[in-house]
Structure formats: structure tokens, C-alpha cells
């Protein structure tokens, strides 16, 4: 088999790349380790930046998102017995976020690729990249896929990044001393906007998926197991961390999904080796507090598409050569923002009284200074894409 771009991974990065390449007349094949059902049901992100929404609309895959997505023009920071709204409409006029589940984006992209005759092979667990520096190819289940370039869109635990020879990549990493327990509940949201709550008991986040389904996250110890968290314990903890302002009551309902996610910051540089290009979580991870991971993956594949289109149309490798450096500027901005939001809102060592005071001072500053709130708002809704792609 032969294609122009061999894509490993059918997450948001791989699927969107395949679709954007198709719009530019470039052929690709997507190889995915898991089943279609599995990738369509995997519950993860929920917040799409303005630029991500615009790009999905421009690429003709935004129809259902426009109908079912929930535009939000602010978030609440809740701490010390009070709620403080960060008003996007005032601080970053014309920019907002849309709450629309990552698995809905994935479903929309898969449906569109298949309708356009795109090739996505599911259930291929043994993909291996070869000959990255010359004529690259992928092997899987006794088959060989020759390609001009390989796009490693296979997430943090994929095969592409580890296939780069030792010594090539520089790794930058930070682990956090807590994890997130996420749940989905069949209950209308108790708030119109997302609530990021800081308390002595730990961080809690009230989000949502639809007018009937709420999404919540709790800061939990890294060694926690889902079995430690029966439904009653989850609701009790959410109440303790969220019912901290007068008049706010959390509505409870049946929980139908639970997951635990590690919190990590990670960057591999450069995002290219020979003819292998990494995109999305395969190259970088952020803790989810800033809601940046999926949005960064979208920004990467937007640039990779432009670079590949320029190469096929003009023969120039200029944009391919600058792909990694251009991506990494945005990646590091998001790394800083995600680390900053995480540090601002989570509870660290209980005995670090100095750190606790700094945190309160920082929260007071962000919720009282227009300059500080604007810093949060413009990063949260997403900085504009790099021009030219």
C-alpha cells in the first residue's frame, strides 16, 4: 500500500489532519490501535477555544457543534467563600469558548472522513514506523504502508515518539502530586458557567456537556483508585468543595462514567525527526486545568497541513523545516498557562502555609485586577493562530 501521509492515531489530531489534508488534495491513511467504538466513547476534553471552533467550521465539520455546542462567555473562580466571574465579553471582546465533548468532535470527524472515502483502519494494535530518515514506511499486521511522511498523532503512549533514536529528543517534564477524578452525571448543570473552585479540601471543577448532562472533576491523590470513590463519596466531596458560597446548591443525579487522569506537563523537542512529524499529545502534554491539550493538537495539525500543502504545491520544504519551532512557541505558552492555572487552583502540601498565602494573594489579584484577569481570559479563550497557515 502507498499513501502520501501515513497517520498513526485516530484521536482529534490524526483525524483532523487527515480531513484537512483531504481538503488540500493530499492523500492519507489513518492507522488506529483501538476500535471505532472505543475512540468514539472515550470521555476527555470539553472546552474548545475560539480558534478551534472557527477552524472546525471553516473545514466544514462544525454543523453539529454549532447546533449542540454550548458557547460560554465567562468562567467563575470560586474560593474563600465567594465566586468571581471572569467576563470574556468584557476582557477579550468577540472571543469565547464552546463546550462540546471531544468524543463528539471525534465522531463528527470519523463520519466525515468515511463519507469522503477516507481510509481509517481501526483495530491495528501493532503499528511500527521504519526508515524515518529516508523513505519512511509503517508496518502493521503483516502489511506495509509506504509514505512520503509519517504523522505521529498517537498520543502520549504511542509508538512514534519512542521510535525516534535515543539522543535526538530533549524532554522537559513536570509531574504533579495529585490526579483528577472525572465523572459524567445525568443531571442538568447546577451553574450556567464553568466553576473552577479552590478549597482547603482540594480543587473541584463543575463543567457540563449538554443541558441534561454535567461533568465534574475532583483533585484526588495520585494513587487513588476508582473503587475508592463510590457515588455518595463523590457527591459529598463535590458538595464540600463547591457549596461554599451562599445560595449555591448542587443538584445530584445518576453517575454514568468515572475516570482518573494523571496530571503531567511534558514537551519533547523537536517535534520532527527526518520524515516523522509529531503532533498533539504525542509531542506534548499539559495538565487539564487550562483546557489546552485538544486545542494545541488542533493548532499543530493546522500548521502541519499548511506545511505539507506548500511542499506538495511548490516543492519547498521551508514550512516543514520550521514546523517544530513554530508549534513550540504556542506549546510553551500553553505549557506556562496550564502550569499557572494548576498552581493557582489546586491544594498543595497542607503544611506549606507560605505557599497557601501566596496562592490566596494570587487569586485575589486575578479576580480584582483587570490586567491580571485579561491575562487569564486571553489565554483561556486561546491566543490567535500564527498567521500564514
Distances (CA, A) of 211 to 69, 70, 182, 320, 368: 10, 9, 18, 43, 31
Sheet hosting strand 70-72, strand order edge to edge: 47-48, 97-99, 70-72
Q: Is 277 a catalytic residue?
A: no
Handedness of CA 218, 221, 224, 228 (dihedral sign): negative
- Name, in order, each residue with C-beta under 8 angstroms of 30's C-beta and a sequence gap of 6 or more: 7, 8, 9, 10, 14, 15, 18, 113, 118, 119, 120, 121
Instruction: Tell the smallest beta-carbon distance from residue 288 to ligand DHB (Å).
Output: 3
Which residues from 141-200 bind ligand DHB, rule CB under 6 A? Answer: 194
- The piece of 40-48, 55-63, 309-317, 369-377 that touches ligand FAD (CB under 6 A) is 40-48
Pattern 7-46, ligand DHB, x by CB under 6 A: --------------------------------------xx
d(CA 150, CA 163): 12
Instruction: Tell the smallest beta-carbon distance from residue 309 to ligand DHB (Å).
Output: 31
As to burial, measured by CB atoms within 10 angstroms (0-12 exposed, 13-18 middle, 19+ buried), residue 373 is buried
47 vs 334 by CB, closer to ligand DHB: 47
Active-site choice (19, 284, 292, 346): 292
Contacts of 201-207 spanning 24+ positions with Cβ under 8 A: 201/237, 201/240, 201/241, 201/347, 202/178, 202/241, 202/346, 202/347, 203/241, 203/289, 203/345, 203/346, 203/347, 204/237, 204/238, 204/241, 204/242, 205/289, 206/238, 206/242, 206/250, 207/46, 207/47, 207/99
184 vs 309 by CB, closer to ligand FAD: 184
Residue 263 within binding range of ligand FAD, rule CB under 6 A: no
Active-site choice (196, 217, 277, 323): 196
Instruction: Tell the smallest beta-carbon distance from residue 275 to ligand FAD (Å).
Output: 18
Instruction: Tell the smallest beta-carbon distance from residue 181 to ligand DHB (Å).
Output: 12
**Residue 131 near which of ligand FAD, ligand DHB, none (CB within 5-8 Å, type-dependent):** none
Instruction: Tell the smallest beta-carbon distance from residue 88 to ligand FAD (Å).
Output: 15
Residue 48 within binding range of ligand DHB, rule CB under 6 A: no
d(CA 256, CA 239): 18
Residue 242 within binding range of ligand DHB, rule CB under 6 A: no
Residue 289 within binding range of ligand DHB, rule CB under 6 A: yes
Residue 47 within binding range of ligand DHB, rule CB under 6 A: yes
Q: Which residue stretches of the chain are H helix?
A: 12-23, 36-41, 50-58, 63-68, 88-91, 102-115, 231-242, 293-314, 318-345, 353-368, 370-381
73 vs 119 by CB, closer to ligand DHB: 73
Q: Is 362 a catalytic residue?
A: no
96 vs 205 by CB, closer to ligand DHB: 205
**Residue 261 near which of ligand FAD, ligand DHB, none (CB within 5-8 Å, type-dependent):** ligand FAD
Three-class SS of residue 190?
Answer: coil
Residue 285 within binding range of ligand DHB, rule CB under 6 A: no
Residue 288 within binding range of ligand DHB, rule CB under 6 A: yes
CB-based closest residue to ligand DHB: 46
Contact present, 209 and 215 (Cβ < 8 Å):
yes
- The piece of 39-47, 75-83, 130-138, 240-248 that touches ligand FAD (CB under 6 A) is 39-47
d(CA 73, CA 101): 17
Q: What is the contact surface with ligand FAD in residues (CB under 6 A)?
A: 8-14, 31-34, 39, 44-47, 102, 127, 153-155, 157-159, 180, 182, 261, 280-281, 288, 291-295, 297
Q: What is the contact surface with ligand DHB in residues (CB under 6 A)?
A: 45-47, 194, 205, 207, 215, 288-289, 291
Residues annotated as catalytic are: 72, 196, 288, 292, 380
Amino acid at each position: 500500500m502507498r499513501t502520501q501521509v501515513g497517520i498513526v492515531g485516530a484521536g482529534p489530531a490524526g483525524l483532523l489532519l487527515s480531513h484537512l489534508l483531504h481538503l488540500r488534495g493530499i492523500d492519507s491513511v489513518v492507522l488506529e490501535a483501538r476500535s471505532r467504538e472505543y475512540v468514539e466513547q472515550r470521555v476527555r476534553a470539553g472546552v474548545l477555544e475560539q480558534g478551534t471552533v472557527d477552524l472546525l467550521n471553516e473545514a466544514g465539520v462544525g454543523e453539529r457543534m454549532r447546533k449542540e455546542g454550548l458557547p460560554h462567555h465567562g468562567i467563575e473562580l470560586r474560593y474563600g467563600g465567594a465566586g468571581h466571574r471572569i467576563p470574556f465579553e468584557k476582557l477579550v471582546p468577540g472571543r469565547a469558548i464552546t463546550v462540546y465533548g471531544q468524543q463528539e468532535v471525534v465522531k463528527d470527524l470519523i463520519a466525515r472522513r468515511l463519507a469522503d472515502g477516507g481510509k481509517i483502519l481501526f483495530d491495528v494494535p501493532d503499528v511500527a514506523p521504519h526508515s524515518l530518515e529516508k523513505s519512511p514506511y509503517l508496518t502493521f499486521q503483516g502489511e506495509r504502508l509506504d509514505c512520503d511522511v509519517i504523522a505521529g498523532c498517537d498520543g502520549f503512549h504511542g509508538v512514534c515518539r519512542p521510535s525516534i533514536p535515543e539522543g535526538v529528543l530533549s524532554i522537559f517534564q513536570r509531574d504533579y502530586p495529585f490526579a483528577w477524578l472525572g465523572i459524567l452525571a445525568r443531571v442538568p448543570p447546577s451553574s450556567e458557567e464553568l466553576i473552577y473552585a479552590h478549597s482547603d479540601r482540594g480543587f473541584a471543577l463543575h463543567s457540563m456537556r449538554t443541558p441534561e448532562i454535567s461533568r465534574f472533576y475532583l483533585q484526588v491523590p495520585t494513587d487513588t483508585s476508582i473503587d475508592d470513590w463510590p457515588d455518595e463519596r463523590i457527591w459529598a466531596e463535590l458538595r464540600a468543595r463547591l457549596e461554599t458560597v451562599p445560595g449555591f446548591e448542587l443538584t445530584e443525579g445518576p453517575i454514568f462514567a468515572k475516570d482518573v487522569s494523571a496530571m503531567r506537563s511534558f514537551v519533547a523537542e523537536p517535534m520532527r525527526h527526518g520524515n516523522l512529524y509529531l503532533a498533539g499529545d504525542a509531542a506534548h502534554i499539559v495538565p487539564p486545568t487550562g483546557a489546552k491539550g485538544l486545542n494545541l493538537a488542533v493548532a499543530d495539525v493546522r500548521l502541519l497541513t499548511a506545511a505539507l500543502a506548500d511542499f506538495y504545491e511548490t516543492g519547498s520544504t521551508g514550512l516543514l523545516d520550521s514546523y517544530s519551532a513554530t508549534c513550540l512557541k504556542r506549546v510553551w505558552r500553553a505549557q506556562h498557562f496550564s502550569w499557572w492555572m494548576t498552581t493557582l487552583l489546586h491544594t498543595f502540601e497542607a503544611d506549606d502555609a507560605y505557599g497557601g498565602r501566596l496562592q490566596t494573594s494570587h487569586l485575589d489579584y486575578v479576580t480584582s485586577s483587570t490586567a491580571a484577569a485579561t491575562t487569564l481570559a486571553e489565554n483561556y479563550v486561546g491566543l490567535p493562530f500564527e498567521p500564514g497557515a
